[in-house]
Structure 1
């Protein structure tokens, strides 16, 4: 095991939905900002195996040990030492808007040119698009989830009872079509909150009513009141992906600029 080279702190902003791979099982990509305003990416995170006291959410502040990952040259990336992770608090609700607004950028192209692989962008004219997954794709995802979870449940060190992680994939893709100064874009949301919200509401209200409620919240309320997208590039190629969807009222960035001057 690689030795820990450093210990840092960060405010968590991004928890992508869990994905089950053929080689390494169930993993989560997480990201946040340190207290110097620098982005950090924590991957891979085997979230289900964390102790309950370590299972952080958005806005939690954490301390963690890390080393440089192999094969990932994005300078924000950190290989997390799971046992070292400690939740130290949570960013106060009254401080969250200003904290986010200081880091919103206008151009993803410019961020990429400067070698950055994580960014916050405010979408314009955002439209939520809901697509049912291809049946074969969904069946394959379900089989991977079922196989991995059965394996863990039957092992001596299985993680039974830790139900904070979804046990099934969403049957729908939630996408945004939107504009930035770079032009029109479209991307699939990989945000944990969106998938978890769908699965929770589906159990409570059924599929049709859940889709209506999802559209109302993420397709009407969020664009009306204001939100930002937490973007990240893929390790293998410089393509921006939607890793997080975070409410942020319209105009907060302008208020921050006025305070500075």
Structure 2
């Protein structure tokens, strides 16, 4: 009996409705009071649920000698109705799945116009897992405006965290950026820049005059406009794949730069500390 109740519960029968329907099957024809007694529930409760079952055409009522007699639909008829409901639901599955796909395909777009928006993106990058990678496409004008937007203290911390966490920057920089970036950065921060993990390819600004820059990480594409302190970030897997494919195509066709900022100065570091050590969580601070 418990198994029958469980099956009926799966088809929107409450526990009381299941008990009352089963009681009706046993009695075949009965009054509300007789059904309530058989099911072991109060008459008022029985009346409420029987009324609902009648509305759903699971129970039927007829008058006999001025009394209301309740009869159940047969189990086979009920099974056919439940099967019809299952069929109706199955017919909706493609539409429901399309709703899910459509929801997943809607890009999440954030447009912000403040320095904080830039800091938010950089903070997300430095908090990626140790050894992660982000991608950057940038020219000289974009780099100069970017470095002026935030103060030297912020950049010192950002560069330090990037180096400590060994986060790789895979970048396509213009040749003009690499030639002039040291003019827009303090010597201390430039030295820290050299300690970061880099995989840089370069191209002439004549071929890539973007005047701003793009960063890519965690299925996000951020279009950065530092001159007006604005960012447009799009999160969308399919769109990310397209832009990433374009990035990798340009990357493969451009010239690799082995030491974009020159080699780090290690002449004053003791010999036993020159070998890079693998970063651990204990090394991290922020």
**Which bin holds the TM-score, normalised by the shorter protein?**
under 0.3
TM-score with structure 1 length normalisation? 0.20
Greater share of strand residues, 1 or 2?
Answer: 1
Higher Cα Rg, which structure: 2
TM-score with structure 2 length normalisation? 0.19
Of the two structures, which has the highest relative contact order with CA contacts closer than 8 Å and spacing of 6 or more?
1
